[in-house]
Amino acid sequence: MTQTISKEVALGSDRPTVRILTDRCAGCQECIIRCPTSALTMDPKRWVALADDDLCVGCRQCERTCPFSAIVVDGPMIVEPRIDPEPVHPIRLLGDISEIRSGYAGWTEVLAEAERCLQCPDPTCVRGCPAHNDIPGFIASLRDRDLKGAHEVLRRTSLLPDICSRVCNQAAQCEGACSWSLAGGVPVAIGRLERFIADNMDVAPPTNSSTAKELSVGIIGSGPAGAAAAWDLLEAGVSVTVYEKDATPGGLCAWGIPDFTLSEALAQRPWDQLSRAGLDLRCRTEVRPEDLGELLVTHDAVIVAIGAGVPLRLPVPGADLDGVIEATSFLQEAKTALELGVDPEEFWATHGLESFALGGPTPNVLVLGAGNTAMDVARTARRLGMRATCIDWLDERFALARPDELEEARHEGVEVRFSRTLTALRGEGRVARAELACTTQNRADRRPKVLAKDSEELEVDLVVMAMGYRANPAFVDVLPGTPLRKEASGVPDRRWTASGILANRASAFANHNAVGKLALGREVGLWGAALAVSERLWVVGDALTGPATVVEAMAQGRRAAASVLDAQPQGPSRVDRVLSNGPGRVLVCYESIGGKTARAARAIADGYSAQGLVTRVLPIVKVGPAELAMTDMVVVGSWVEGFVVAGVGPAKAMNTWLDALPRLGGKTVAVFCTFGVSPKGTLRAMRRALEEKGAVVVAQAAFGPEELDAKAGVFGPRAFGEGLARLATTKGAIKVSV
């Protein structure tokens, strides 16, 4: 067991000091309610914050959350060293597929690490976790030696804790977002604590609901996104069929992650449990894009979870030579060979390397990339007796690989060379040499620059392209809005900014990644998974956003399952059945400056309510993906901004909101505007913007001064709402023709 000593503790510095800049402090108490050690209070006379240095531990949470930069913390962080078990390095690497990373040996280590957690009142680690696991909650249970309680806390949000705790890059997620990491220190070992829970208490299988829903859902793909969606749907009593093109389920977890990182038993665990719970699993069943229509006839809803399985290839001269292969085929073949104990020389022969023999010169494999996939390829090659060199054009400071994985690879003899890129491959029919150029990179958010004059040549026998994957272009064409860019636009939600996760970059522990920005971007993917891309069709996981982590895919699968259960879609086979799920739900949202548009919105809502529909009225600043996902119809209203001569249109704030909307996937929408002189093309502009987002705009209306006059009782807007509402008889039946 090793203890990672923080610089501050090792130097034996004094306690931290807190300075309150009273001329800036506004008495908002943001720092007080978020301080995990109660080191901050209020001066009731001057109404400014007061600090008690004796209680401060230097986590800098107050610095990050103060909206006026009125707090400065100097000095060390007062935290015990992190406890990390020693890696299990094989005595003889050749053919060894035993797990390389060990968990905590017992409660002594667990309790020591759990005590490092500050139990933050507004935990940034939870926002950094794509599944939003209640990390302080399960750590608190561990502190009480309550393993069952910790498991129950984790079970609320994670179905794959045994897998996620092993394969996820915690440094860029939960641990990178830990208060200690955000302060520049060493975070709590959240992944290892999660693993201890999963390793010592089996994940409970899904329990099929006795009150079965009359729903049939087809899921394409059996990766973590598909597993999570199937799990929650089965628990709700839904009939679920999973279509998988490979012979065994599991996706990348099954074929793409080596056994020394994730054993086959763990990768198959969820699918064994799902099958016993009643899942209809159909392996060796490939679904092509043209088959989607047939599946939508067979099922009430379809969830596409096919992953991003098309390997990226570097378009350089010589890329078509023999001996240049992709990571997918290498990993699949190597995994089988290692599990079956195939002689390394037999494996070499399958790749045209018959001239090499054990005990003599061994093949040199050049792996393009230094991310997780590249590390898996190189470390697998070493277990097959081959030499391995990884190159990546990124600076090592901004590497994509897990820090521990990079260290392990180098210990196993993998040569990892950063700031290098491939410019050409040479050989007579078969690859023999690689030409490399140096690169330079000063910031993580900037692309490296290639230094053309600084080059070298490397002798190679096999080249594996392991630079990542992309979504299948054939499916992209039939899945509108994919792949979705995980970039949040507009002003972040106050709950995010107030937590402090966006206030500064993470430490070197997180490879200098802006973990707050990454976490906020993942929210875009999560809510994209909740919104259908077209009628009764959802997309999740890598197919939605491009390559991501296992936990992110799992979270998206669960989000889509919840959306399907909420929407209760009805396929052609059940068109004559009436769903008894209560009245339809209508959201009337608006942008108003003088109050007239807001009054019109309320009148429209009154018209819906009079017909028995559940209606909400909100300004657009309070309408996000969550509100859009949980409604059946949206009515959008704006006032007309501009001058008739110079040009008029929707309000600027409305245009900004429309631009930031997620894909609406066939959501039924109506638009209206209020005007003083003439609306001209306002409604047309709103309609076009919404249709570009995939909405179906069924009606529009413009209301002038007479209809908005308070004495007139805004009869026009109310009649607009009543007219549409009369066409809505049941939930899901609100779609009408213009």
Above 80 in pLDDT, residue 445?
Answer: no
What is the arithmetic mean of pLDDT over 66-80? 95
Q: How much is the mean pLDDT over the chain?
A: 89
Domain 106-204+486-532 matches domain 206-309+533-574 at the CATH topology level: no
* Predicted pLDDT of residue 11: 39
Contacts of 599 (CB under 8 A, 6+ apart): 708, 710, 714
Q: Which two tokens stand for residue 352?
A: 């045209």
Q: Topology of 17-74 in CATH?
A: Alpha-Beta Plaits (3.30.70)
Could you give the CA distance from residue 277 to residue 117 in angstroms, rounded to a whole number? 37
Above 90 in pLDDT, residue 439?
Answer: yes
* Predicted pLDDT of residue 191: 97
* Predicted pLDDT of residue 89: 86
* Residue scoring higher pLDDT (63 or 209): 63
Each domain of the chain, given as residue ranges in start order, spans: 17-74, 106-204+486-532, 206-309+533-574, 324-470, 585-725
Could you give the CA distance from residue 499 to residue 61 in angstroms, rounded to a whole number? 9
Paired with 50 in beta bridges are 41
Above 60 in pLDDT, residue 353?
Answer: yes
Q: Which two tokens stand for residue 57?
A: 């531990």
Query: At 642, which amino acid appears?
Result: G
pLDDT tens, position by position, 93-150: 999 999 999 999 999 999 999 999 999 999 999 999 999 999 999 999 999 999 999 9
pLDDT tens, position by position, 699-726: 999 999 888 775 555 568 888 988 888 7
pLDDT tens, position by position, 585-626: 899 999 999 899 999 999 999 988 888 888 999 999 999 888
Quickly state the pLDDT bin for 685 (edges 50, 70, 90).
very high
Lowest mean pLDDT among 222-231, 340-349, 448-457: 448-457
pLDDT tens, position by position, 486-542: 887 777 888 899 999 998 766 777 777 789 999 999 999 999 999 999 889 999 999
Quickly state the pLDDT bin for 477 (edges 50, 70, 90).
confident
Q: Domain 106-204+486-532 is in which class?
A: mainly alpha
* Residue scoring higher pLDDT (430 or 86): 430
Give me the CATH code for the 585-725 domain, please: 3.40.50.360
Can you list the alpha helix ranges (DSSP code H) found in 431-549? 473-476, 494-499, 515-530, 542-545
CB 125 within 8 A of CB 135: yes
Above 80 in pLDDT, residue 737?
Answer: no
Above 50 in pLDDT, residue 8?
Answer: no
Lowest mean pLDDT among 52-66, 318-332, 357-371: 357-371
* Predicted pLDDT of residue 1: 46
* Residue scoring higher pLDDT (732 or 528): 528
How many other β-carbons are positioned within 10 Å of the β-carbon of residue 581?
13
pLDDT tens, position by position, 330-341: 999 999 999 999
Quickly state the pLDDT bin for 574 (edges 50, 70, 90).
low
Above 80 in pLDDT, residue 2?
Answer: no
Could you give the CA distance from residue 561 to residue 253 in angstroms, rounded to a whole number? 21
Quickly state the pLDDT bin for 583 (edges 50, 70, 90).
low
CATH of 324-470, one of 3.50.50.60, 1.10.3720.10, 3.30.70.1350, 3.20.20.540: 3.50.50.60
Give me the CATH code for the 206-309+533-574 domain, please: 3.50.50.60
pLDDT tens, position by position, 25-46: 999 999 999 999 999 999 999 9
Could you give the CA distance from residue 266 to residue 237 in angstroms, rounded to a whole number? 25
